[in-house]
Structure 1
Amino acid sequence: MRYLKWCFALLVLSFASLLSLSAHAGIMLSGTRVVYPAQQREVSIKLTNDDAQFPRLVQAWIDTGDEKLSAEKSNVPFILTPPVFRVESGKSQVMRMVYTKEPLATDKETLFWLNVLEVPPRVGGEEDNQLRFAFRLRTKIFFRPANLAIKPDNAPGLLEWRLVKADGGQALQVRNPTPYYISFQSVALAVGDKQIKSDDYTMVEPGGVQHYSLKNAPAAPGPGAHVAFSIVDDYGAFVPLTAPLAEQ
């Protein structure tokens, strides 16, 4: 039995040695989000091939939120050029994103998604056995109308927070009365010197409401309890903030 196990292990190693495995992403985006001001003619998006050895073939497209939708079936009011390109090792490529002027909301942001699909090159000859993995990045695009009522930096301070009952426990409810999407890096209920963090925080849309569940949160946290949260700004930086809890 020991001999058979040794033979099986040797067979696995021999098979693995025949495969050239390229399995790490090389393409990096210059930011974690794209903001498209409606008044701008176009927005530039920079990608860099961080692989020190090999080029990458890239396909890029935009969708409205359905990540299963292929580039060919995506229907959005933007033109992205070039849609397919090669990026050499250590080099960069700038894509141009142009709004085609189809009507979008003028009183709030509209959310789209940028997809960047990269395929590593074939290494060696055609006779070599290889496993090649394609990697896809998805990044938020916020189309921002001109002349919105408030500035984006002021939006997080207008969020309305409440402690509510949910699923047999407690949750933080946030209402977003602003025209901006607001993304969170963290959300917590602060009681004294203790923070009870939520594990399921998500972005809240303009005019939307979200609930973030809390584990072992007191039903009545007492005076001084507040919300400690961190938002992601237009540049991808984390901005820590606090806010009072609204009265029940």
Structure 2
Amino acid sequence: MKNQFLVVSFFIFSGLIISPAVMAERNSVPHSDGVGTGATRVVYPSGSKHVTLSVYNTADHPFLVESVVLDESMQQEAPFIITPPLFRLDGGQRNTLRIMRTGGHFPADRESINWICVKPIPPEPDSTRDEGEKDSVGRDNLSVTTRLLSGICIKLFFRPEIVHGNSLDMADKVTWTIKGKTVTASNPTHFYMNISWASVNGKKLKMDKTYIPPFSEEKYPLPEGVVKNNAISWSVVGDYGEEKKILSILN
């Protein structure tokens, strides 16, 4: 059973790294199969020993849940650990994850981004097993399947001591410019600016990347049929998932 469990864990983790469904940020917290997280983002102040995130299961059956913290590229683990890293979550129940920093070097003058990825693996009936043989993570002859489901990845912002407040308070400092068929958003602040949407003349910009890193800029294609305007409407998301709508000058 121990070897089987290790194999399952390997496949789950591999799915988190390479699954296209996981690479995309989800706008909704709940997973389609019933497992979800209690927040859309987590802020980790540099002076904290740990932060927490709740995980819940609204389904009527259990899941095996594995969690990991990945770097911004989602290609390797970040210097954080999650406890418990793997656990059973029964239907209608919730559990609390504890995220702790284990090292790493982060800029002292700006936020850094990582990803907390939570992956539910459902049990399924296994009629080929003996009645007395039961899986340690299942009931009534349930065994864990290794089919890879899409997981939930939410942002983990590591915030150094000199960065105070909420990104919403600094959002007005973001500038927008238009040149040809490209709209550029420039973020001169210490915060990641998390953009919910942006529109010109009522037409929303296509945003493959929904955040602007500190002291950086992002470029977006101007929607077809939109002529140059002198204003852009957009919405920024704060630390707790709250949104602020802003009307900015489009130079």
Q: Please give the TM-score of this superposition, normalised by the length of structure 1.
A: 0.75
The answer to whether the 8 A contact 1:122-1:132 is kept is no
1:139 partner SS: strand
Could you list the runs of 5+ residues in structure 2 that have no partner in the other structure?
A: 1-30, 130-141
Question: 2:125 maps to which residue?
Answer: 123
Superposition pairs for residues 80-119 of structure 1, below 5 Å?
A: 80-119=82-121
**In the aligned structure 2, how far is the partner of 1:163 from the partner of 1:150?**
30
1:122 partner SS: strand
Aligned match of 1:55 in 52, 62, 66? 62
Aligned-pair CA distance for 1:201: 5.5
Superposition pairs for residues 1-248 of structure 1, below 5 Å?
A: 24-52=32-60, 54-69=61-76, 74=77, 76-123=78-125, 125-126=127-128, 134-148=149-163, 151-165=166-180, 170-190=181-201, 195-200=202-207, 202=209, 203-214=211-222, 215-219=224-228, 221=229, 225-246=230-251
Aligned-pair CA distance for 1:151: 4.8
Counterparts in 2 of 1:68 and 1:107: CA distance versus 1, 3 Å: closer
Could you list the runs of 5+ residues in structure 1 that have no partner in the other structure?
A: 1-22
More strand by share: 1
Bigger Rg over Cα: 1
Aligned-pair CA distance for 1:131: 9.5
**Residue type at the aligned position of 2:74:** E
**In the aligned structure 1, how far is the partner of 2:32 from the partner of 2:203?**
36
**Residue type at the aligned position of 1:55:** P
Aligned-pair CA distance for 1:120: 0.3
Deviations 1:172-220 (A, max 9, x none): 2111001111111111124xxxx2321235311111111121222224x
The answer to whether the 8 A contact 1:33-1:236 is kept is yes
Aligned-pair CA distance for 1:139: 1.2
Counterparts in 2 of 1:66 and 1:176: CA distance versus 1, 3 Å: closer
CA RMSD of aligned residues (A): 2.4
Counterparts in 2 of 1:110 and 1:230: CA distance versus 1, 3 Å: same
1:183 partner SS: strand
Deviations 1:34-60 (A, max 9, x none): 1111122210110001112x1110111
Q: Please give the TM-score of this superposition, normalised by the length of structure 2.
A: 0.74
Aligned-pair CA distance for 1:126: 3.0
Aligned-pair CA distance for 1:32: 1.1
Aligned-pair CA distance for 1:237: 2.6
Q: How many residues align structurally? A: 205
Aligned-pair CA distance for 1:231: 1.3
Counterparts in 2 of 1:150 and 1:83: CA distance versus 1, 3 Å: closer
User: Identity, % of aligned pairs?
Assistant: 24
The answer to whether the 8 A contact 1:26-1:56 is kept is no
Deviations 1:8-65 (A, max 9, x none): xxxxxxxxxxxxxxx952211001111111122210110001112x111011111113
